[in-house]
């Protein structure tokens, strides 16, 4: 009943099994591709986090140097005024 011949001389059951197998292979390939993409995204996110931390540190260092330069400039201007 379920194994009736189809037009090509094969069986419907065999054709269905072949179709299911093909669909499973396609799903596995899609899953593998998605996993690889997630690895790349995770790596890029980590690199972005590292770069952000470096930018934050550089901005902090620049702020400290700016305050130091401002203080030195104020001291210099004060010394010129009293001279």
Percent of the chain having pLDDT more than 90? Answer: 80
More confidently predicted of 1 and 58: 58
Residue 7 lies inside a defined structural domain of this protein: no
Domain range enclosing 30 = 18-82
Residue 66 lies inside a defined structural domain of this protein: yes
Residue 49 lies inside a defined structural domain of this protein: yes
Residue 10 lies inside a defined structural domain of this protein: no
Domain count, the chain: 1
Average pLDDT, the chain: 90
Residue 12 lies inside a defined structural domain of this protein: no
pTM for the structure as a whole: 0.57
Query: CA 16: distance to chain centroid?
Result: 39
Residue 2 lies inside a defined structural domain of this protein: no
Q: State the Rg of the chain over Cα.
A: 35
Of 18, 21, 20, 23, nearest to 6 by C-alpha is 18
Over the stretch 10-40, which tens digit does the pLDDT of each residue have?
A: 588 888 999 999 999 999 999 999 999 999 9
């Amino acid at each position: 009943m379920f194994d009736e011949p189809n037009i090509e001389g094969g069986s419907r059951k065999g054709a269905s099994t072949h179709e299911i197998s093909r669909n499973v292979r396609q799903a596995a390939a899609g899953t593998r591709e998605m996993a690889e993409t997630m690895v790349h995204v995770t790596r890029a996110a980590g690199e972005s986090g590292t770069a952000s931390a470096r930018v934050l540190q550089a901005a902090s260092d620049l702020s400290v140097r700016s305050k130091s330069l401002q203080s030195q400039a104020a001291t210099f201007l004060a010394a010129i005024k009293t001279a």
